[in-house]
Amino acid sequence: MKTYYDERHLIFSRMRLKPGTDAYQDYYQKQPHLKAKDDAMRGLNITEKLRVSNHYKSLFFPLTQNNKALLKNWHDFLEHHPLKSPPVTIPKHFSKNIKEIAKHFGADAVGIVRLTDDHFYSHHGAQSDDIGRPLYGQKTDKDYRYAIVYVQSMNRDMINRAPFFEEMLETENVYLNIAYTGFRLALYLKSLGYKSLFQSEAFYLTPLVPLAYDAGLGEIGMANHLVHPEYGDAIRIGAVLTQLPLEADRPIDFGLEAFCKRCALCLMNCPSNSIKPHPRIVNQRRFYKFDDQTCFQLWKNTGTDCGTCLQSCPFTQGIERTTLDWMKNDIERIDRVIQQHLERHTRRKFIKKPLSIVAIEEE
């Protein structure tokens, strides 16, 4: 039996619901078990409790403060961009060109998925409120045939400062870069005559991890992130949905399931015990049980989006491609690789010294 994703269930949508509204009443009538904990942490201001000086805040918070406005402009520009008619005829195997073009626009790795009904959210949540599109509760537009899915890697020096501000800065930065890549690609495809749109942190039609898995960009790790064989967890995923006919890729298997069973470093390092080792299969893809409320509560308590799980993954710190093949599904070899990782990086590679981008020199 197929499971259909519904964006209204995401914690980022739930946190936007306003008590007293019909949407709020309706949601918690159907999901009463989530109400008490959600109410206790409602609201999206994560940085409120960040333990830095007001001077620090006034210097560095503006680095990301216009991101949503930029996203809004890109989404609006794309929507009003004319669709060329008639469409340009597409040569055979043009998928190869499309992948190179996506890289030209900023992607590090690209794959293609033929879309089916269950890739899409059934209904919109509240995220798109941020770009002036109040779509909550509306059915999503599923009139797209393919997704061009891509990842962009994050700066390891910044990720290794998690849960400090550098990690959050990099996350926000790559979210924006991902959206800009998607914006340019979708604009190009409309200029060829094919209906297309890009997803961004403020507008989704599909969840991204199942798409990226199906596109062959990585496997799903214990923290429920996509783990890319080269970049590990230190990535953000983007997707352009289109009617352009393309050639689909397939999922890959580099042995992550067996590796996660021996590793569990993300679980051990998670400060809120949100990561669980218990698999749950959704539409034939292996995910793991996860507590989104304890994770988000930790964000609100500490004032950053944490990211310790991204930093903990041995794949984030880098595992050679030849080692990957050598240890695949071999428990003894996996244990040796994990042991080497622990000797080199300890249980968690964490660098306390602030990066120069946010270091303040006192007079």
Number of residues located near ligand SF4, criterion CB under 6 A: 25
The answer to whether 266 contacts ligand SF4 (rule: CB under 6 A) is: yes
Interface residue with ligand SF4, options 17, 109, 169, 306 (CB under 6 A): 306
Residue span binding ligand SF4 (CB under 6 A) among the ranges 105-113, 126-134, 185-193, 221-229: 221-229
Q: Which two tokens stand for residue 141?
A: 């537009």
Query: Min. distance of Cβ 10 from ligand SF4 in angstroms?
Result: 14
197 binds ligand SF4 (CB under 6 A): no
221 binds ligand SF4 (CB under 6 A): yes
Q: Which is nearer to ligand SF4, 9 or 276 (CB)?
A: 276
110 is an interface residue for ligand SF4 by CB under 6 A: no
Q: Using the rule CB under 6 A, which residue among 115, 189, 260, 319 binds ligand SF4?
A: 260
Rule CB under 6 A: choose which of 122, 243, 272, 293 binds ligand SF4. Answer: 272
Least distance (Å) from ligand SF4 to the CB of residue 316? 8
Using CB under 6 A as the binding rule, whether residue 271 contacts ligand SF4 is answered as yes
N-term to C-term CA, the chain = 65
Binding segment for ligand SF4 among 53-61, 90-98, 183-191, 300-308 (CB under 6 A)? 300-308
Nearest distance in Å: CB 311, ligand SF4: 8
Residue with the shortest CB distance to ligand SF4: 221
CB of 41 to ligand SF4, least distance (A): 13
Query: Is there binding between residue 274 and ligand SF4 (CB under 6 A)?
Result: yes
CB of 250 to ligand SF4, least distance (A): 21
- Give the C-alpha separation, 263 to 274, whole Å: 16
Q: Compute the distance between CA of residue 78 and CA of residue 74 in angstroms, rounded to an integer.
A: 6
Regarding 154 and contact with ligand SF4 (CB under 6 A), the answer is no
Which chain residues interact with ligand SF4 by CB under 6 A?
A: 221-223, 227, 259-260, 263-266, 270-272, 274-275, 295, 298, 306-309, 312-315
